[in-house]
Amino acid sequence: MTDKATKDFFRDFFASVTKNALVDIRHDEFLTQDEVAKKLKISRETLRKAIKTGAFPESVTIANQSRWPSSLINAHIRETNEQLKLDDEIWDAARAAIKEAGKKTEASA
């Protein structure tokens, strides 16, 4: 790969990946369609239909290949799974209560 091709690759890569704030290129694994389907335990066709209807996020293109950042998949699962939404609400409430208790302790000291 030439220097220009390498620069172009990384420019395109970072532009496509960082357009979504949920993506963290330092920690993400970039999955193929087969890997995504396997992770979700659905068929490729079911995944294709979900993408086409907007029920699942579209891939990013890296070096002319479609990939899904693992953080994007995980965020989608958290957003669409009712149990996980409830867990998030419980943790958010617990964090708020701890923060409020800390403020009260500081104020009384």
For residues 91 and 66, give the distance between their C-alpha atoms in angstroms, rounded to a whole number: 34
Sign for the CA dihedral angle at 37, 40, 42, 47 comes to negative
- The model carries a pTM of 0.57
Q: Catalogue the E-assigned strands of 1-109.
A: 30-31, 60-62, 65-69
User: Could you tell me how many residues make up the chain?
Assistant: 109
Total tally of structural domains belonging to the chain: 1
For residues 17 and 20, give the distance between their C-alpha atoms in angstroms, rounded to a whole number: 6
Q: What is the pLDDT of residues 3-57, one digit of tens each?
A: 888 877 776 766 565 555 556 667 789 999 999 999 999 999 999 999 999 999 9
| Assigned token pair, 43 | 């068929």
Task: For residue 41, give its domain range.
Answer: 3-108
Under 8 Å between Cβ of 58 and 26: no
Report pLDDT for 78: 82
